[in-house]
Structure 1
Amino acid sequence: MSAFLWNALSFIVALGILVTVHEFGHFWVARKNGVLVKRFSIGFGKALIRWRDRQGTEFVIAAIPLGGYVQMLDERVDPVLPQFHDLAFNHKTVWQRMAIVSAGPVANLIFAVFLLWLMYLVGVPEVKPVVASTQSQSIAALAGVGADEQIIAINGRQARDIRTVNLLLVEQLGRSEIRLTLQQRNSLQVQERILDIRNWQFNPETESVFTSLGINLLLPQATTTLAVVSKNSAAERAGLQVGDTIQAINDQPITAWAEIDRLIKDNPEIPLNIRVLRDGQLLSLQATPELSQAADGFSQGLLGIVPMASPWPEDLRYTQRYGIFAAVNEGISQTWQLTRLSFAMVAKLVTGDLSVKHLSGPISIAQGAGSTASMGLIAFLSFMALISVNLAVINLLPLPILDGGHLMYLVVELIRGKPVSERAQEIGFRFGALVLLMLMGIALLNDISRL
């Protein structure tokens, strides 16, 4: 199966499940509050599959898998016979309507807890964040962060794996300092370092949050043996194969992957004589790197090879696994952390601490779904938990076209004792739709530029 089809299928599965959970939240609470649900649709456009239940609700799976909706009986939309007024959404109390509107995002948060609970019940492979070195004159180096120190807390919040440390560091964008708690790798000695981040520049498109601070983590190193030779690449045309160990390029002995990387990038469209070791035999091949454009806009060579990595140091790897009840607590804790981070990122977009060029759209989400699905169940569950939380947070934003906007109107109604005027709501919906379309357009353009 091609990468495109795999990404598309993974995207449809992930989004379909998350949208169904979201809309089921609205549906279930509406039914519990005596509202007649006319239609429950997963997707938009032409109905591919449809059926009705005993209460008259039409269930639909539609052709465009980019969302869904729950259509309730509401006399503000369609005429309602007097005998059915009690079944209409607009005739319910403010508190009931608030419960129905908020049920979608809440369902996504509960589902995220379930996904994370399942992950920690099975066991999550984790890696300790140990510093290998710091870059000269970097933020970390100036703060005194040294080699063989493990990060165990960020601003007092415990974080003993790379994934959690990464999330907590990103959350600090826009602040003036970060307080790192570090422990020597082979001792119990603990110390704190204060990172001055007033001039911190972080571009997630080109670097990790660690390297942006000048921290090089202790990770498996790239070897000179090939793990991947891309299809239809210059390397494949030259006869390079997975498992080949590069010994020399243009008679220059090779001892590290960095040397291979440099020679390929510095010689676009120039033939390179490559000596490889294959099954105990030395072979001489000639490969010509293709001309490609780097992220900085400059031209460079591309051969289409990926190196094997050395094994992880055993003392850095561990599996985080909990029992049935402890996994629930961990799921709630991780969901709260993701929710807090998501709201923090939205706030940083508003304040300008985070650029809108970092927004991701459906193409990036599809790629993320495909890559995590390829990595296995745990990675895919983690991805779905993150997207489920993001879906909840986005829907809670106070834009009138979203659940958060509806809640905002209902809060105003609760305070005033009467609904917001239809004219004000119409203006609000138009404004909300404009903002949402603008953000979606930016995200889609970002996706295309990344491609």
Structure 2
Amino acid sequence: MSVLAVISVIAILIFVHELGHFLAARLQGIHVNRFSIGFGPILWKYQGSRTEYALRALPLGGFVGFPMEEDSDNSFSPDDPNLLQNRPVMDRAIVMSAGVIANLLFAYLVFVVQFTSVGVPQDFVPEPGVLIPQVMSSTSPAATAGIKAGDIILSVDNQLLNQGEANVQTLIDAIQSSPNKPVDLQIQRGKQELNLTVTPDVSPEGKPLIGVQLYPNGRFSYQRSSNPVEVLKFAAEEFQNVFVRTAQGFFALVTNFSEMSSQVSSPVGIVDQGRTMADNNLISLFPFTALISVNLAIINILPLPALDGGQLAFLLVEALMGKPLPRRIQESVMQTGLLLFLGLGGILIARDISRLEIFQNVFQ
């Protein structure tokens, strides 16, 4: 059920993104002839009075289609002012950026719904164990040992980790006292308990590390608020924290790609991480949804081919030059970018599938 919940979350976020483009066009009177969730063969479609709505076989994104002059089924005059390509740069920029804006607004609304329905976080209630919110690298000792983000370490070398922040230091001490020596861990992953062995590597600074973040395990108690202003305030603060951390993560990826690239996940990896979080605490689907929505927004605003940011970059060049780049150049850049993204996506999907527990168990 948790897998289906996470897949549904991703599908909703794709829908929200494309709906942003669709509404931005429609509200300006711009013609839209296709609204599609997914790519590839059509599984279901509905032909409306002005737009074809479709679900496609590959749920890796979506698109909003606009009639073009060269389309064989285009029934509009080439100089129709409501064709997208005939609109001023600013109108087109609004359409291209609307998906990003929709995902950011949706992330904020997710926190509003969470704090309205579940309540505003109050006191932190500690629970046994130490939480691993992030595995820093796919080549780290932790990843090699099979440790995943969302795991809870219950014991180290048969020493139970009880409640409180002191257990984080206990675990750190056990790791740092075992350079290049195996450390036995008891792990809770959802409803499972696993016994894993990790061997700390010694960093250039001489510290034994396993390559994870460590947080005290526990949960917040929640109290429903009757003050809507308080809910909006908490939601804004939480949204700001998520946005800043995500933007910092992307900056670190761009400036230190060789070290951070292993943390990039495919949809398969995202679903697996979300499943682990949902198994531990279903409420975590709220921040997970907001986090993925913000990630989707930031990814799409990057000035790269095949992304919204790439289209905005073309519009910026057009605004500066006073005329658009030749269609042939734009199409060549976008097609090349699309092929590169599909190739990278295929590699990431294959890598993340190989990391799934079911495959690791088969090949152990």
TM-score range, shorter chain: 0.5 to 0.7
- Where does residue 50 of structure 2 map in the other structure? 56
Deviation at 1:204, TM superposition (A): 7.9
TM-aligned CA distance change 1:404 to 1:321, over 3 Å:
farther
- Where does residue 190 of structure 2 map in the other structure? none
Out of 96, 101, 124, the position equivalent to 2:96 is: 101
Distance 1:296 1:127 in 2: 36
- Where does residue 164 of structure 2 map in the other structure? 218
The answer for unaligned runs of 5 or more in structure 2 is 150-161, 169-180, 186-193, 201-216, 357-364
TM-aligned CA distance change 1:126 to 1:405, over 3 Å:
farther
Deviation at 1:450, TM superposition (A): 3.0
- Where does residue 414 of structure 1 map in the other structure? 319
TM-aligned CA distance change 1:293 to 1:327, over 3 Å:
closer
State the Cα deviation string for residues 109-158 of structure 1 (Å, max 9, x = none): 1110100111122225566599xxxxxxxxxxxxxxxxxxxxxxxxxxxx
TM-aligned CA distance change 1:264 to 1:352, over 3 Å:
closer
Out of 329, 333, 339, the position equivalent to 2:237 is: 333
Out of 95, 111, 131, the position equivalent to 2:106 is: 111
Distance 1:443 1:126 in 2: 39
Q: Letter of the aligned partner of 1:422 in structure 2?
A: R
- Where does residue 222 of structure 2 map in the other structure? 319
1:71 equivalent to 2:71? Answer no
1:379 equivalent to 2:284? Answer yes
State the Cα deviation string for residues 22-73 of structure 1 (Å, max 9, x = none): 11101101001111111111222333332233x4212222333222111112
1:356 equivalent to 2:261? Answer yes
Equivalent runs, 1:219-258 vs 2, <5 Å: 219=165
Q: Letter of the aligned partner of 2:57 in structure 1?
A: A
TM-aligned CA distance change 1:265 to 1:377, over 3 Å:
closer
Higher strand content, 1 or 2: 1
Q: Secondary structure of 1:47's match?
A: strand
Q: Is the 8 A contact 1:401 1:432 kept in 2?
A: yes
Distance 1:74 1:335 in 2: 38
Q: Letter of the aligned partner of 2:246 in structure 1?
A: S
Distance 1:342 1:412 in 2: 28
Q: Which has the larger radius of gyration?
A: 1
Q: Secondary structure of 1:87's match?
A: coil
Distance 1:110 1:21 in 2: 10
Q: Secondary structure of 2:68's match?
A: coil
Distance 1:380 1:124 in 2: 16
TM-aligned CA distance change 1:263 to 1:410, over 3 Å:
closer
Deviation at 1:397, TM superposition (A): 0.9
- Where does residue 302 of structure 1 map in the other structure? none
Deviation at 1:217, TM superposition (A): 8.7
Q: TM-score, normalised by structure 2?
A: 0.68
The answer for unaligned runs of 5 or more in structure 1 is 1-5, 131-161, 171-201, 209-215, 223-261, 267-289, 298-310
Q: Is the 8 A contact 1:356 1:442 kept in 2?
A: no
Distance 1:93 1:263 in 2: 64
Q: Cα RMSD (Å) of the superposition? A: 4.0
Q: Letter of the aligned partner of 1:338 in structure 2?
A: V
Distance 1:264 1:436 in 2: 39
TM-aligned CA distance change 1:333 to 1:419, over 3 Å:
farther
TM-aligned CA distance change 1:431 to 1:335, over 3 Å:
farther
Q: Secondary structure of 1:37's match?
A: coil
- Where does residue 436 of structure 1 map in the other structure? 341
Q: Letter of the aligned partner of 2:254 in structure 1?
A: V
TM-aligned CA distance change 1:66 to 1:8, over 3 Å:
farther
Q: Secondary structure of 1:355's match?
A: helix
Distance 2:122 2:337 in 1: 41
Distance 1:408 1:127 in 2: 46
Distance 1:204 1:127 in 2: 31
Q: Is the 8 A contact 1:10 1:366 kept in 2?
A: no
Equivalent runs, 1:2-401 vs 2, <5 Å: 6-53=1-48, 55-75=49-69, 79=74, 81-82=76-77, 85-121=80-116, 122-123=118-119, 125=121, 128=124, 205=143, 218-219=164-165, 294=197, 318-319=221-222, 322=225, 323-352=227-256, 354-375=259-280, 377-401=282-306
Deviation at 1:16, TM superposition (A): 1.3
TM-aligned CA distance change 1:337 to 1:264, over 3 Å:
closer
Distance 2:71 2:236 in 1: 38
- Where does residue 157 of structure 1 map in the other structure? none
Higher helix content, 1 or 2: 2
1:426 equivalent to 2:331? Answer yes
Distance 2:56 2:89 in 1: 31
Q: Letter of the aligned partner of 1:342 in structure 2?
A: T
TM-aligned CA distance change 1:334 to 1:203, over 3 Å:
farther
Distance 2:253 2:280 in 1: 31
TM-aligned CA distance change 1:114 to 1:220, over 3 Å:
farther
Q: Secondary structure of 2:81's match?
A: helix
Distance 1:264 1:317 in 2: 30
Identity %: 33
Q: Is the 8 A contact 1:14 1:369 kept in 2?
A: no
Q: Is the 8 A contact 2:301 2:308 kept in 1?
A: yes
- Where does residue 352 of structure 2 map in the other structure? 447
Deviation at 1:7, TM superposition (A): 4.9
